[in-house]
């Protein structure tokens, strides 16, 4: 189509990302490749994306250093105290473009309707227009689509979006946030050029493909995201279970002390004093029979009150903290797992992830369940029995989901007499055999699993081809089960091992080979490489011989260039 008959629009999707009360700036943007001869289009793809840092009331624009598929991770979260998690109210776009360039138009789509803000912006301006604010309207949900159209070449242009948190328009742009989740560019040919109706209908039908160029709507309808689901199936949060409230410490039948090394030495000296037994008034033959256990635990955040150690009815001359509870929880923190390639290579079958859980085991986890969000590990444990449960949670799309659990033991028992020592030794020896044989430990900890098969047989679910890909490389089993003593000598905090494929895409690959599409297209509207298993019957409308029809079918099977 002639350039003069068309207006090219760029659709930029903005989202809001909030996490734990903090608001993050853009951490990812992706440029959509578009080949063509339309002059304005190439330059529009050079739009400078401007993640914005909000620094206590002012915002600062800065430019990324490259445009093509970079992942930009902010060095620290951007937030302001006492602000709501999700800003509401009027959204603004700040627009800076070079002087002398032709005009354009800004519209926004808020999943309700399309509003055209201005007819022309930056039209024949002799100088750049910094701090020019265009009101986008009220943000009522999490996604905002910013539509920018240009008629001719635009060089580097900066778009920044923010919300007024004071509720009023501040001409100096103070107290504005820019909360950007991702910039997804999509270039759409605007067919009519006279109104927004076609674009409006196109957006409402959600033909916009967030990955790759959407082009014109699918004339045959259908969901470009595939399947027939409406993406509204019930989805609930599954957080880490709460700690039990009834512990051994509160039973009244025992006392549990967090005792220092010095106090423990003093207690041992006192108990072994030959004059000690003369003070015993209970029925037990030895004070040691009143000692249930002595252990080392890798935790120091106990709660309790200081008091003399009492063994049975004997009050020792040693003071220690008596615990009021034996159940504790450790939140090991979160790891952000953004897309690395933002393609299939980020997910199962290509990217592999293993999580090393101290005192439990190493487990394979599914990237599909975490990529795009964050992974959180929490431990619930009992310092009396030593039992621990590690929970692996996926925090994504506003939901927290407990995806994996592992069990183990954090307590290292210490013998207090000869008989007691034999029991401890036997348990330790058994734990060693478990490491060698890969059996489950006494506490139920899982042995390190076969990574490729550790995700519920997911490899089979995506087809044999993926299994072939995964089987190219041998599979290695990391650590075995970790009993408490071994855990004490091992890592004390979880860590994630991520193994990603190194994609090797030469220049021109997309033009020569294309990428997987599975979309309904009209041949004449495509550019570059197109490959299709078009049926013979679909070619019946072409007035050619059957032999020629077969040649056309073969050409499409090889792939043609348009």
Partner 1 sequence: MYMNTFMNSSDNDKLNKDLTSVESNIPIILKDDTYIEKPVIEVSNTVSNFNYCYISDFDRYYFVTSKGYSQQRYIYQLEVDPLMSFRDEIEDLELIANKSSSKFNLYQIDQDVPRDQRDIINLINFQNGFNGGGGEEYVLAVAGGYQPEPGPEPEPSEEVSVNGME
Using the minimum distance from each CB to partner 1, give the nearer residue, 116 or 539.
Answer: 539
CA 447/CA 475 separation, integer angstroms: 15
CA 164/CA 178 separation, integer angstroms: 9
Among 70, 191, 198, 295, binds partner 1 (CB under 8 A): 295
| Options 57-65, 158-166, 319-327, 447-455: segment touching partner 1 (CB under 8 A) | 319-327
| 139 SS3 class | strand
Q: Does 452 bind partner 1 (CB under 8 A)?
A: no
- Binding-site size for partner 1 (CB under 8 A) equals 140
Question: Which residue shows structure tokens 């604010």?
Answer: 133
Cα-based distances in Å from 302 to 268, 414, 415: 22, 20, 23
Q: Does 212 bind partner 1 (CB under 8 A)?
A: yes
Closest approach, Cβ 155 to partner 1, in A, equals: 24
CB 163 within 8 A of CB 89: yes
| Options 16-24, 188-196, 228-236, 539-547: segment touching partner 1 (CB under 8 A) | 539-547
Among 465, 474, 476, 537, binds partner 1 (CB under 8 A): 465
Closest approach, Cβ 327 to partner 1, in A, equals: 13
| Options 21-29, 155-163, 329-337, 419-427: segment touching partner 1 (CB under 8 A) | 329-337
CA 436/CA 429 separation, integer angstroms: 11
- The alpha carbon dihedral of 429, 433, 438, 442 has a sign of negative
DSSP character string of 120-132: EESTT-SS--TT-
Closest approach, Cβ 164 to partner 1, in A, equals: 34
Among 9, 108, 302, 404, binds partner 1 (CB under 8 A): 302
Residues numbered 25-44 forming contacts with partner 1, rule: CB under 8 A: 34-35
Cα-based distances in Å from 133 to 114, 209, 473: 19, 29, 54
- The alpha carbon dihedral of 209, 214, 217, 221 has a sign of negative
Using the minimum distance from each CB to partner 1, give the nearer residue, 96 or 323.
Answer: 323
| 477 SS3 class | coil
Among 43, 125, 142, 290, binds partner 1 (CB under 8 A): 290
Using the minimum distance from each CB to partner 1, give the nearer residue, 422 or 523.
Answer: 523
Give the H/E segment covering residue 187. Answer: strand 183-190
* Residue closest to 268 by CA, chosen among 320, 303, 306: 320
Q: Does 530 bind partner 1 (CB under 8 A)?
A: yes
| Options 54-62, 91-99, 336-344, 448-456: segment touching partner 1 (CB under 8 A) | 336-344
Q: Which residues fall within 8 angstroms of residue 55, CB to CB, at 6 or more apart? A: 78
* β-strand partners of 358: none
Q: Which residues fall within 8 angstroms of residue 152, CB to CB, at 6 or more apart? A: 39, 40, 101, 102
Among 26, 49, 320, 455, binds partner 1 (CB under 8 A): 320
Among 49, 214, 360, 459, binds partner 1 (CB under 8 A): 214
Q: Does 510 bind partner 1 (CB under 8 A)?
A: yes
* β-strand partners of 406: 390
Closest approach, Cβ 536 to partner 1, in A, equals: 12
Q: Does 252 bind partner 1 (CB under 8 A)?
A: yes
Q: Does 411 bind partner 1 (CB under 8 A)?
A: yes
Window 412-441: contact mask with partner 1 (x via CB under 8 A): --x---------------------------
Q: Does 459 bind partner 1 (CB under 8 A)?
A: no
């Amino acid at each position: 189509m002639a350039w003069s008959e068309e207006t090219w629009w760029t659709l930029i999707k903005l989202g809001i990302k909030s996490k734990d009360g903090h608001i993050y700036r853009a951490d990812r943007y992706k440029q959509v490749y578009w080949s063509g001869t339309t002059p304005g289009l190439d330059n529009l793809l050079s739009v400078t994306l401007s993640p914005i840092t909000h620094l206590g009331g002012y915002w600062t624009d800065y430019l990324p250093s490259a445009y093509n598929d970079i992942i930009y991770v902010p060095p620290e979260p951007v937030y302001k105290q006492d602000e709501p998690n999700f800003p509401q109210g009027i959204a603004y776009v700040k627009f800076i473009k070079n002087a002398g360039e032709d005009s354009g138009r800004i519209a926004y789509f808020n999943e309700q309707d399309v509003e055209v803000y201005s007819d022309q912006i930056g039209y024949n301006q002799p100088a750049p227009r910094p701090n020019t604010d265009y009101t986008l309207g009220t943000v009522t949900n999490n996604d905002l689509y910013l539509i920018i159209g240009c008629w001719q070449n635009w060089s580097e242009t900066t778009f920044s979006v923010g919300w007024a948190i004071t509720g009023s328009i501040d001409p100096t742009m103070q107290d504005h946030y820019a909360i950007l989740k991702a910039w997804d560019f999509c270039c759409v040919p605007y067919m009519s050029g006279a109104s927004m109706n076609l674009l409006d209908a196109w957006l409402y039908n959600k033909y916009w493909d967030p990955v790759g160029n959407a082009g014109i709507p699918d004339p045959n309808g259908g969901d470009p995201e595939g399947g027939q689901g409406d993406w509204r199936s019930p989805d609930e949060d599954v957080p880490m279970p709460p700690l039990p409230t009834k512990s051994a410490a509160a039973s009244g039948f025992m006392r549990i002390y967090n005792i220092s090394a010095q106090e423990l030495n003093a207690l041992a000296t006192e108990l072994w004093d030959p004059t000690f037994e003369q003070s015993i008034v209970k029925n037990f033959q030895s004070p040691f029979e009143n000692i249930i256990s002595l252990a080392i635990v890798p935790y120091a955040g106990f709660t309790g009150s200081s008091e003399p150690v009492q063994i049975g009815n004997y009050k020792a001359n040693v003071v220690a903290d008596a615990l009021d509870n034996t159940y504790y929880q450790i939140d090991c923190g979160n790891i952000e797992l953004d897309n690395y390639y933002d393609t299939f290579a980020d997910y199962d079958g290509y990217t592999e992830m293993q999580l090393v859980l101290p005192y439990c085991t190493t487990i394979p986890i599914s990237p599909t369940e975490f990529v795009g969000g964050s992974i959180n590990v929490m431990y619930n444990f009992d310092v009396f029995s030593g039992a621990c449960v590690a929970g692996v949670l996926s925090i994504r799309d506003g939901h927290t989901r407990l995806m994996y659990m592992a069990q183990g033991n954090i307590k290292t028992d210490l013998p207090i007499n000869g008989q007691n020592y034999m029991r401890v030794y036997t348990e330790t020896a058994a734990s060693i055999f478990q490491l060698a044989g890969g059996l489950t430990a006494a506490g139920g900890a899982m042995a390190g699993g076969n990574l490729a098969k550790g995700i519920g047989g997911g490899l089979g679910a995506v087809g044999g081809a993926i299994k072939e890909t995964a089987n190219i490389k041998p599979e290695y089993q990391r650590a075995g089960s970790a009993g408490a003593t071994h855990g004490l000598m091992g890592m004390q905090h979880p860590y994630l091992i991520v193994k990603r494929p190194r994609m090797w895409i030469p220049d021109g690959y997309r033009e020569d080979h294309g990428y997987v599409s599975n979309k309904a297209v009209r041949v004449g509207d495509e550019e570059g490489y197109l490959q299709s298993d078009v049926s013979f019957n679909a070619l019946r409308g072409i007035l050619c011989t059957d032999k020629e029809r077969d040649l056309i079918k073969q050409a499409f099977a090889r792939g043609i260039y348009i």
